[in-house]
Amino acid sequence: MSASGNTYRVRPIDIFKGQIKADTLTGFNNLSSSCGLTVTPGIWVFYTTLNHDGTIHELSLCGLSTNLSNPKFASMPPPPSREDKATLDRYYAVVASRMLAEFHKKVVV
C-alpha cells in the first residue's frame, strides 16, 4: 500500500465477492468530508465497492473498513442495561482501561 496526498494505491490479497481487473487499485481520500476515512499505509480490510472507473469507492468512518496495522478505534460492545448498575460500572471500567491503553500506545514512544 502506498499513499500520496489524497490518493492511495492498494494491492488486494483476497477478494471476498466480485472480481477486479488490475493487480493494484486506486482510491481517493475525501479530505473535505467529516465522515471520510483517511487511508494511510498499513494492512487494511476494505468493505467497499468499486466505482465504474475501477477506483475504490470513498470509505466512511461509519463503515467497517479498518487499518489492521494501526487501528484507530477500539471495538467496544454495546453497554449493558442501565438497570444492572454493577455490570454497567464494570463495562465503563473496561472502556476506560482500553481507551487509556490506546492513548499510551500512541503517546509513549
Q: List pLDDT tens digits, range 30-79.
A: 877 777 888 888 888 888 889 999 999 888 887 888 888 877 665 555 66
Phi-psi region of 33 (alpha: psi -120 to 50; beta: other; left: phi over 0): beta
Contact 68, 39 (CB under 8 A): no
CA dist 54 and 69 (Å) reads 25
Q: Is the pLDDT of residue 109 over 50?
A: no
Q: Cell digits for 68?
A: 489492521
User: What pLDDT is recorded for position 78?
Assistant: 63
